[in-house]
Amino acid sequence: MKLLVPALALLALLLPVSATAQEINGADTAWILTSTALVLFMTIPGLSLFYAGLVRVRNVLSVLMQCFALTCLMSLVWFAVGYTIAFGSDGVEQGAFIGDFGNMFFANITMDSVNGSIPASLFAIFQMTFAIITPALIVGGFAERMKFSAMLLFSTIWLIFVYAPICHWVWGGGWLGNMGLQDFAGGTVVHITAGVAAVVAAMVMGPRRGFGSVAMPPHNLTLTVTGAGMLWVGWFGFNAGSAVAADNSAAMAMLVTHLSAACGSLAWMTMEWLRHGKPSVLGIVTGMVAGLGTITPASGSVGPAGAVVIGLSAGVVCYFATNFLKQKLKIDDSLDVFPVHGVGGILGTLLAGIFCSTQLGLFSGNGFSDGVSSIGGQLMVQGTGVISTLIYTAIASYIILKLVDLIVGLRVSDEEETQGLDLVLHDERGYDL
Amino acid sequence: MKMITAIIKPFKLDDVRDALHDIGIMGMTVEEVKGYGRQKGHTELYRGAEYLVEFQPKVKLQVAVSSDQVDRVVDAITGAANTGKIGDGKIFVSALEQSIRIRTGESGEDAL
């Protein structure tokens, strides 16, 4: 083996240049162009509408504004430093924890640069859409009470110090990826980081005024259902696009993603029907998000039957997690980001370690990572990914929140909160009916 | 002259309007209101957060009539709005001192 590597390198030198240079594949490029648009569509308007409907009428614009402004600002942060911390530059040996800084301001991304079988520019913007939606997901944790300025500052620092490094650990050549962590589309990178940051933010900032005593029902569930439908469609780009190719892996990812969304929806709906007596609209769409978030890390690892089990368990586990956080722990994670995305991300990352096995008959998946030979071994790797992501995100998010609190203050005043963020922070009202 | 105010179940509005039309009542004013009496409220559940909604949606309808029409109007509303279930609503009859038709300046029962 030791002799083989230099021998191959020598052989490569002898081949004509065109055979060794990475070549752009048209089909792959077309699919990732499409996927990139789909993932951006998840944030604006999908997630924005999903969240906007869930808040009270006086804060509807504030969450739409937060998601939209994050789309703009996170793009620039990704361009400036985020991308290079996560992925470094081509041809440079990558460290275990962060990428090299050679690609700041997309310095190495030109018309001719290639990443795998697609243009490097396309890979950069495809990943950019993930860096947009992850901070946007956190918005649900601190909705209806955070200052807009504090939200922008927090998200900027968080993208640089939490999202980008963890993205590197898993996808950028860092230690978790090298260890064999199976996280196809972002169970750890996106959903655990967003979920944990949201619940930490909710705890640091405290509950909304009147939480637990005043009714805070969603003001417009039709917006929420509209956004949910867009999320489901957009998620095809998120998961099937994560194959970074137009191939069998992308197609299977789309199939398992869809099945899991369907099963998560039905499972949550059934839980409410059994326990409350009626199936709710909010329940079925929340189950959909749980099913999608949970299949995300597993979407490149499992087969269709495994996806059904993952989706069903997502609907049930996230349902109980939501009730537990709200009713027992009394934490005001306003739009339930942790119990749906965080718990779903954890569950999916772990279940990927089981249903990737090729020995489960109908429930078999695509196999263990290199160097791993059993479900137990793969679960150890998956567990390491979950725990390290969870602990690092919690600590770093806590520090960033405290820092932002010192600089600009996290919360609006009690009076402003009662009046509503739309008027107080933006001088606008969502509806003039 | 009397002012008749009825609080009824929203889905009975069309029946009540038809019944009043049949006895010659040509105008009324309707509002959507909320309230509760002996009928209990309902619970709403949003992702595990349960809210007791005490106020029920109702329709309030007002008709100004001459004193000799009161019994027929009350009978018409009672007959049309009755379901026999709790929450059917109430009818209030109160004295009405004056009425004026703005367009013509007519007053009293001529203005009804």
How far, in Å, CA of A382 to CA of A302, rounded?
Answer: 14
Flag if B51 and A215 touch (Cβ within 8 Å).
yes
For A80, the domain range is 32-424
Q: How confident is the model at residue A332 (pLDDT cuts 50, 70, 90)?
A: very high
Strand partners, B59: B8, B32
What would the mean pLDDT of A106-126 be, rounded to a whole number? 96
A217·B48 Cβ contact <8 A? no
Q: CA-nearest residue of chain B to A268?
A: B47
Per-residue model confidence (pLDDT) at position A215: 86
The answer to whether residue B55 neighbours chain A at the CB level (below 8 Å) is no
Phi, psi of B64 (to 5 degrees): -95, 125
* Share of residues in chain A with pLDDT > 90 (%): 92
Residues A166/A393, Cβ–Cβ less than 8 Å: yes
pLDDT band at A18 (very low <50, low <70, confident <90, very high): very low
Residues of A in contact with B34 (CB under 8 A): none
Is A255 a member of any domain? yes
Is residue A55 within 8 Å of residue A218, measured between CB atoms?
A: yes
State the angle between helix axes of A375-407 and A343-355 in degrees (0 to 180), rounded to the nearest 10: 160
- Closest Cα in chain A, distance from residue B46 (Å): 7
SS3 B92: strand
The Cα–Cα gap between A123 and A144 comes to 35
- Domain assignment of residue A37, yes or no: yes
Q: Please, which residues 310-329 of chain A have a Cβ atom closer than 8 Å to chain B? A: 322-323, 326-327
Q: How many residues does chain A have?
A: 433
Return the residue in B42, B43, B46, B53 with the most chain A beta carbons within 10 A, the one to mutate for interface testing. Answer: B46
Listed in sequence order, the residues at least 6 apart from A209 whose beta carbon sits closer than 8 Å to its beta carbon are A145, A414, A417, A418
Read off the CATH number of the domain in which A195 is found: 1.10.3430.10
Helix (H, G, I), strand (E, B) or coil at A86: helix
Question: Residue A13 above 80 pLDDT?
Answer: no
The answer as to whether A6 is a domain residue is: no
Asked if A288 contacts A264 with a C-beta cutoff of 8 angstroms, the reply is yes
Domain count, chain B: 1
Distance from C-alpha of A121 to C-alpha of B77, rounded to nearest angstrom: 72
Q: Which of residues 217-256 of A touch B (CB under 8 A)?
A: 217-218
In the predicted structure, residue A21 carries a pLDDT above the cut 70: no
Q: Is B27 in the A-facing interface, judged by CB distances under 8 Å?
A: no
Tokens of A208: 């909304």
Distance CA A85, CA A173 (A): 11
- Alpha carbon distance A87, A246 (integer Å): 22
pLDDT at A316 over 50: yes
A149 has a chain B CB within 8 A of its CB: no
CA pair distance A406, A205, nearest whole angstrom: 13
Q: At what angle do helices A60-77 and A148-158 cross, to 10 degrees?
A: 30
Chain A contact for B54 (CB, 8 A cutoff): no
Contacts of B49 in chain A (CB under 8 A): 216-217, 326
Q: Confirm whether A17 is domain-assigned.
A: no
pLDDT class of A3 with cuts at 50, 70, 90: very low
CATH of the domain at B21: 3.30.70.120
Size of interface A-B (CB pairs under 8 A): 26
Distance between CA A189 and CA A421 in Å, rounded? 30
Per-residue pLDDT of chain B (112 residues; tens, 9 = 90+): 999 999 999 999 999 999 999 999 989 999 999 998 887 778 888 998 888 888 889 999 999 999 999 999 999 999 999 999 999 999 999 999 999 999 999 999 999 8
Among A218, A278, A327, select the one facing B48 at the smallest CB separation: A327
Residue A9 has pLDDT above 70, yes or no: no
Closest partner residue to B45 (CB to CB) among A216, A280, A336 is A280
Of A215, A217, A323, the CB nearest to B48: A323
Chain A hits for B45, Cβ within 8 Å: 272, 276, 278, 280
A15 pLDDT above the threshold of 90: no
Distance from CA of A283 to the nearest CA of B (A): 6
Contact between B45 and A272 using a beta-carbon 8 Å cutoff: yes
Measured between alpha carbons, how far is A420 from A431 in angstroms, rounded to an integer? 13
B71 touches chain A (CB under 8 A): no
Could you tell me the residue range of the domain that residue B14 belongs to? 2-111
CA distance, residue B100 to nearest chain A CA (Å): 32
**B44 shares contact with chain A (CB less than 8 Å):** yes
Q: Which helix (H) or strand (E) holds B61?
A: strand B56-65
Mean of all residue pLDDT scores within chain A: 94
Residues A364, A365, A367, A373, CA torsion sign: negative
Backbone angles phi, psi at B107, to 5 degrees: -140, 170
Optimal mutation site among A265, A323, A335, A341, interface B, most CBs of chain B within 10 A: A323
Task: For residue A286, list chain B residues with Cβ-Cβ distance below 8 A.
Answer: 47
Per-residue pLDDT of A29-73, as tens digits, reads 999 999 999 999 999 999 999 999 999 999 999 999 999 999 999
Q: Please compute the mean of the pLDDT values over residues A102-125 and round it to a whole number.
A: 96
Q: What is the mean pLDDT of residues A79-108?
A: 95
pLDDT of residue B42: 81
CA closest to B50 among chain A residues:
A215
Please calculate the CA angle B50-A225-A430 and round it to the nearest 5 degrees.
85
Q: Which residues in chain A have their CB less than 8 angstroms from residue B54's CB?
A: none
Q: Does A216 touch chain B (CB under 8 A)?
A: yes
Pick the residue from chain B with its C-alpha nearest to A278: B45
**What pLDDT, in 10s, does the model give residues A230-244?**
999 999 999 999 999
CB–CB of B5/B62 below 8 Å? yes
**Which tens digits make up the pLDDT trace of A341-385?**
999 999 999 999 999 999 999 999 999 999 999 999 999 999 999
Q: Considering only CB atoms, which chain A residues are within 8 Å of B51?
A: 215, 217
Question: A51 vs A45, A144, A221, CA distance in Å?
Answer: 10, 11, 10
Contact A216 B49 (CB under 8 A): yes
B48 inside 8 A of chain A by CB: yes
Nearest Cα neighbor of A355 from A340, A329, A375, A383 is A375
| Exposure string for A203-237, b = 16+ CB within 10 A, e = fewer | bbbeebeebeeeebebbbbebbbbbbebbbebbbb
Residues of A in contact with B46 (CB under 8 A): 217-218, 280, 282
Asked if A215 and B47 come within 8 Å (Cβ–Cβ), the reply is: no
Tell me how many domains chain A contains: 1
Model's pTM, two decimal places? 0.87
Tell whether B46 lies on the interface with A, counting CB pairs under 8 A.
Answer: yes
Closest residue to A282, CB basis, from B47, B51, B53: B47
Position A225 pLDDT exceeds 70: yes
Tell me, yes or no, if A280 comes closer than 8 A to chain B by beta carbon: yes
Pairwise CA distance, residues A37 & A40, whole Å: 5
- Asked if A281 is an interface residue toward chain B (Cβ–Cβ < 8 A), one would say no
Q: How confident is the model at residue A14 (pLDDT cuts 50, 70, 90)?
A: very low
Instruction: Report whether A123 contacts A115 (CB < 8 A).
Output: yes
The distance from CA A375 to its chain's CA centroid, rounded to whole angstroms, is 25
